[in-house]
Amino acid sequence: MIQFILNNEVIKTTANAGITLVDFIRDHQQLKGTKIGCREGDCGACTVLVGTLNNSQITYKSITSCISPLGNANGKHIVTIEGINLPKNLNFTQKKMADNYATQCGYCTPGFVVSLVGYALEKSPQTTSTCNDAISGNICRCTGYKSIEKAANSIDQKLLGKDSNNSISWLIEEGFLPTYFKEIPQKLQRLQPIELAKRGTIVANGTDVYVRNADQLSEEKVHLISDEKALKGIVFTKDKCIIGANTTATEILQNEQLNTIFPSLKKFLKLISSEQIRNMGTLGGNFVNASPIGDMSIFFLALNSELTLQHTSGSVRKIPFQEFHKDYKVVDLKEGELIVAISFNIPIANFNFEKVSKRTHLDIATVNAACEIAAKNNVISYAHFSMGGVAPIPKYLSKTNQFLKNKTIGISTIKEAEKVLQSEINPISDVRGTETYKRALAKQLFYAHFITLFPQLINFQNLVSK
């Protein structure tokens, strides 16, 4: 049995854990404010909030309920648009949306409102998201967004006065939330959910498998792993960073130490999907998905990472991440094996991540690229370049890396290395771009790494301009 709180109501249901959360909300609970736009996490009309209790503190994240298995709600507080309505009046967010003409046809609107309320709940001096990030996963086809941005900005202004220590009380007082939110932590503590059976298809947060297979999973058994503590967490040892496979992109984005290691981490990760999907998508999922353009795969390949795999029997295996992807959608994962963690050596050398897609945000890369380059006196001691969208697998560019070793950074080295790079990639023409374009992009992004990392030596004029 799955137990959770839906808005202000305790739900106990024997529905299959594999059905989507949105279907449960709309069909089983007849809450019709959550809309269905695409069923692949790409429009945000079905956005809901998930509240998770950690030591009596509750944190809320926005997710797309269309690709989220119901079972993942077990023990959580799920908030739909109905759950943030005040009895009579509009809540603060809703009022700003209405006042700024930020709703036209109204179909996407509940999703935007929920995303913005999620932002209000999360907002603190440490928050890395902006109000636009909060709605990065919400598509509106009517307004052109400016009115929504106006509403969002006025919410942002209001939140400057938020009392972070008493976040929920403040939000209730200021008319953002109904009063019942205050009692939710205690209610959740009393809930005592039962651990769900672990059989069938392994699903973390569903951002990939549910896009492809929601119909089937709705009727089958699912083995949900997103709550497995063993797979979570970001740990630092003296010379290593170890990240659990269940870590979400948001958890990486918000990790202070990682932000120190990668000063541009926010910039990089905000190119990856949307707020809602970053709140769900896990590292392990991105690796196993084995998409040739998996952003996190490209990121960690360039860190020369190591994967830890564990069999249900308990046996543990460690492999270099660059050996994990064997061929198109073929990975080195044996029956009964699970990715447990990925690790890389710290400190790291110069690191950069690049991504070009048709739409800059919430889009799959045409080509993405990352690199770590260590250099002493401008001589490269080692280089790890990786690139997506140019091969059947997320590509670790071994030949290019080999070529660059011990070379002096300079225009001619880069241009020669780019030739090596072209020789080891094999992009195909598809809906994201022609082969010619992908090869051109490969070159540009390769150059972009050097321009970004070694501005004293390499700049756009001397490397690229005619």
Judged by CB under 8 A, the chain residues 257 through 286 that form the site for other proteins are: none
Q: What's 457's DSSP letter?
A: T
Window of 5-13, 239-247, 402-410, 446-454 that interacts with other proteins by CB under 8 A:
446-454
Judged by CB under 8 A, the chain residues 393 through 432 that form the site for other proteins are: 430-432
Q: Tell me the closest approach of the beta carbon of residue 336 to other proteins, in angstroms.
A: 30
What is the DSSP track for 433-454? B-HHHHHHHHHHHHHHHHHHH-
Q: Tell me the closest approach of the beta carbon of residue 140 to other proteins, in angstroms.
A: 7
Query: Of residues 72, 143, 247, 401, which one binds other proteins by CB under 8 A?
Result: 143
The CA-atom distances, in angstroms, between 196 and each of 18, 73, 74, 215, 321 are 11, 11, 8, 20, 31
Window of 246-254, 325-333, 350-358, 392-400 that interacts with other proteins by CB under 8 A:
350-358
Instruction: Pick the closer one to other proteins by CB: 218 or 250.
Output: 218
3-state secondary structure of 96: helix
Instruction: Pick the closer one to other proteins by CB: 95 or 399.
Output: 95
Q: Tell me the closest approach of the beta carbon of residue 430 to other proteins, in angstroms.
A: 8
Judged by CB under 8 A, the chain residues 34 through 73 that form the site for other proteins are: 34-40, 42-43, 45
Are 349 and 374 spatial neighbours (Cβ–Cβ below 8 Å)? yes
Query: Of residues 145, 236, 382, 454, which one binds other proteins by CB under 8 A?
Result: 145
Query: Of residues 3, 52, 104, 422, which one binds other proteins by CB under 8 A?
Result: 104
In sequence order, which residues have a C-beta less than 8 Å from that of residue 448 and are 6 or more positions away?
352, 354, 369
Percent of residues in the chain assigned helix, strand, coil, to nearest 5? 40, 20, 40
Judged by CB under 8 A, the chain residues 352 through 391 that form the site for other proteins are: 354, 356-364, 366
Query: Measuring CA to CA, which residue among 185, 101, 209 is closest to residue 149?
Result: 101
How far apart CA 392 and CA 244 sit, in angstroms, is: 26
How far apart CA 391 and CA 234 sit, in angstroms, is: 30
Query: Of residues 97, 168, 177, 341, which one binds other proteins by CB under 8 A?
Result: 97
The stretches of 17-145 forming alpha helices (DSSP H) are 21-23, 92-99, 109-122, 131-134
Instruction: Pick the closer one to other proteins by CB: 116 or 373.
Output: 116
Query: Of residues 14, 30, 57, 126, which one binds other proteins by CB under 8 A?
Result: 30
Q: Does 444 bind other proteins (CB under 8 A)?
A: yes
Q: Tell me the closest approach of the beta carbon of residue 326 to other proteins, in angstroms.
A: 24
Q: Tell me the closest approach of the beta carbon of residue 141 to other proteins, in angstroms.
A: 5
Q: What's 192's DSSP letter?
A: -
**How many chain residues bind other proteins (CB under 8 A)?**
84
Judged by CB under 8 A, the chain residues 191 through 230 that form the site for other proteins are: 211, 215, 218-219
Query: Of residues 12, 141, 329, 405, which one binds other proteins by CB under 8 A?
Result: 141
How far apart CA 330 and CA 279 sit, in angstroms, is: 26
3-state secondary structure of 145: coil
Q: Tell me the closest approach of the beta carbon of residue 8 to other proteins, in angstroms.
A: 15
How far apart CA 460 and CA 381 sit, in angstroms, is: 24
Q: Report residue 53 as tokens.
A: 């209790």
Q: Does 110 bind other proteins (CB under 8 A)?
A: yes
If residue 295 lies in a helix (H) or strand (E), which one and from where to where?
A: helix 295-301
Query: Of residues 10, 105, 197, 319, which one binds other proteins by CB under 8 A?
Result: 105
Q: Tell me the closest approach of the beta carbon of residue 321 to other proteins, in angstroms.
A: 25
Judged by CB under 8 A, the chain residues 115 through 134 that form the site for other proteins are: 132
Q: Does 28 bind other proteins (CB under 8 A)?
A: no
Query: Of residues 234, 437, 454, 457, which one binds other proteins by CB under 8 A?
Result: 437
Window of 6-14, 94-102, 296-304, 419-427 that interacts with other proteins by CB under 8 A:
94-102
Residue type, 348: I
Angle, helix 146-159 to helix 92-99, in steps of 10 degrees: 140
Window of 106-114, 241-249, 297-305, 340-348 that interacts with other proteins by CB under 8 A:
106-114
Q: Three-state SS string across 154-170, please?
A: HHHHHHCCCCHHHHHHH
The CA-atom distances, in angstroms, between 125 and each of 163, 316, 457 are 10, 40, 37
